[in-house]
Amino acid sequence: MSDKKEPKEENKKTCFVIMPISDVDGYEKGHFDRVYKFLIKPACEAAGYNVERADDTSKTNMIIVDILQKAVKNDMAICDISSRNANVFYELGFRQAFNMKTVLIKDKKTAMPFDISSIRTLTYSETLRIDEVEKGRADIQKVLEETDKADSNDVNSLISLLSINKAEIPENKSLSVDTSIILGAINELKKRYDSRGDDIYLPNDGKANVGDHVWFDDENGNSLANDAELIGVVGDNYLLKLEDGRVIVLNKKSKQGNSLSTIPF
Domain edges within the chain: 12-162, 197-258
Task: Render the burial of 45-57: b for 16+ CB within 10 Å, e for the rest.
Answer: eebbbbbbbbeee
Phi, psi dihedrals of residue 136, rounded to the nearest 5°? -60, -40
| 39/151 Cα distance (integer angstroms) | 26
Closest CA to 147 of 181, 101, 110, 178: 101
At residue 232 the predicted structure's pLDDT band, cuts being 50, 70 and 90, is: confident
**Does domain 12-162 fall into CATH 3.40.50.450?**
yes
The torsion region of residue 69 among left (phi > 0), alpha (psi -120 to 50) and beta comes to alpha
Predicted structure pTM score: 0.59
Q: How many residues does the chain have?
A: 265
DSSP structural state of residue 38: I
At residue 81 the predicted structure's pLDDT band, cuts being 50, 70 and 90, is: very high
| Largest distance between two CA atoms of the chain | 70
CATH of 197-258, one of 3.30.200, 3.30.450, 3.30.1380, 2.30.30: 2.30.30
| 82/88 Cα distance (integer angstroms) | 9
Mean predicted confidence (pLDDT) in 13-21: 93
At residue 33 the predicted structure's pLDDT band, cuts being 50, 70 and 90, is: very high
Give Cα 243 distance to the centre of its chain.
24
Burial of 96 (0-12, 13-18, 19+ CB in 10 A): buried
Answer whether 227's CB lies under 8 Å from 213's CB. yes
As a whole number, the mean pLDDT across the chain is 77
